[in-house]
Amino acid sequence: MPPTMSRMGDVLAGFHAAWEFESDFVRIRYERGIRTPKLFQTLGERLIPFDAIDTVTLAPGRRGTVVLRIVPRPGADPLMEAAAGQLKEGSDPYQLVLPAERETLAEYYADELRAQLKRDRGPAERFLVAAPEVPLRFKAYDGKATFDGKTVSFRWFWTGASSAKWKAGDQSFPVADLNGVEWRSPEVFEGHLRLLRGAAPPVPVDQDPAAVVFGLGYGPVHESLPFAAAVLAAVRSARPTAVIPAARRDPADIAERIRHLGELHQAGLVTDEEFTVKKAELLAEL
């Protein structure tokens, strides 16, 4: 058995967050303020069990800082699973940025925490970190999304929704009928949240009644990502033994999306660089 943390309840405060060390978990409290990333403010506080941690790192940061970072086990946190590596470095909820002069103290706590961790563990079989609390809601470009813990609902905006979505009408999806969630950051091209259902290949998100499309100022990370994480956790909880395969694209769907992308490019709505990059990404999915 590894030793317990030498001083339970110790708090290590950094920029935008503070870590409190307990006997079997780390409590992360995020500050509130205009300079604190909005995602941190939305999360408020998180409990990270030692069993959810893969390792702990300490590295130099920018402008005279050091960065203490918890690396969660794959599959342990629904927020990070939903994010799928898309979060910017400054929005990583598992990092604590400290002044460089506190490096020795940070190294002490990193060593203490590493001593609590079991070695050679693979991905977690279930979520070990709690999902954001429901109810949750946010506004996308083409509709409003709400989640009460059991059902995801989309209400379309006539100013943004496609004719296909408007014709299909407002939608409600019980989590028991879902296989997963696909979240694409609103900070990248074609940002969206899509609910995965069955094995049928997805249609373009602007035509899919099980998806909402993001846009400038619509579906911000601090609102849409916790939403996606909560839905994903509910889906996994409803089907704890289900293995959810990665969605594969149908070649016809890829061809249609490339055609649509070309139309946007010709209309001047997509730059040459965006067109080249996105086309390469689509072709790589074949």
Is the pLDDT at 223 greater than 90? The verdict is yes
Same domain for 253 and 235, yes or no, is no
Number of independent structural domains in the chain: 3
Is residue 96 within 8 A of residue 26, CB to CB? The reply is no
What Å distances lie between residue 172 and 1, 73, 160, 166, 175, CA to CA?
48, 33, 19, 14, 10
Is the pLDDT at 7 greater than 80? The verdict is no
Whether 97 maps to a domain, the answer reads yes
Containing H/E element for 254? helix 251-266
Same domain for 142 and 243, yes or no, is yes
User: ω into residue 49 within 30 of 0, thus cis?
Assistant: no
Pick the closest to residue 91 from 34, 37, 14 (CA basis). Answer: 37
Pick the closest to residue 201 from 259, 255, 249, 254 (CA basis). Answer: 249
- CA atoms of 286 and 282, how far apart (whole Å): 7
Which amino acid belongs to residue 96?
L
10 Å CB burial of residue 191 (0-12, 13-18, 19+) is buried
Same domain for 198 and 282, yes or no, is no
Q: Kindly indicate the confidence band of residue 112, based on its pLDDT and cuts at 50, 70 and 90.
A: very high
pLDDT of the residue at 34: 86
Same domain for 150 and 233, yes or no, is yes
Which amino acid belongs to residue 92?
D
The CATH number of whichever domain residue 63 belongs to comes to 2.30.29
Whether 5 maps to a domain, the answer reads no
Same domain for 253 and 267, yes or no, is yes
What Å distances lie between residue 48 and 130, 133, 153, CA to CA?
9, 15, 30
Domain of 34 in residue numbering reads as: 11-114
Pick the closest to residue 226 from 83, 96, 30, 72 (CA basis). Answer: 83
**pLDDT tens, residue by residue, 142-155:** 999 999 999 999 99
Whether 4 maps to a domain, the answer reads no
SS3 state of residue 5: coil
Same domain for 230 and 276, yes or no, is no
The pTM of this model reads: 0.80
What distance lies between CA 188 and its chain's CA centroid?
A: 14
Partners of 66 in the beta sheet? 60, 98
The share of the chain scoring above pLDDT 70, in percent, equals: 86
pLDDT of the residue at 272: 78
Same domain for 88 and 161, yes or no, is no
The b/e string for 139-168 (b: 16+ C-beta within 10 A; e otherwise) is bbbbbebbbebeebebbbbeebbbeebbeb
Is the pLDDT at 203 greater than 90? The verdict is no
Whether 235 maps to a domain, the answer reads yes
| pLDDT, average across residues 170-179 | 96
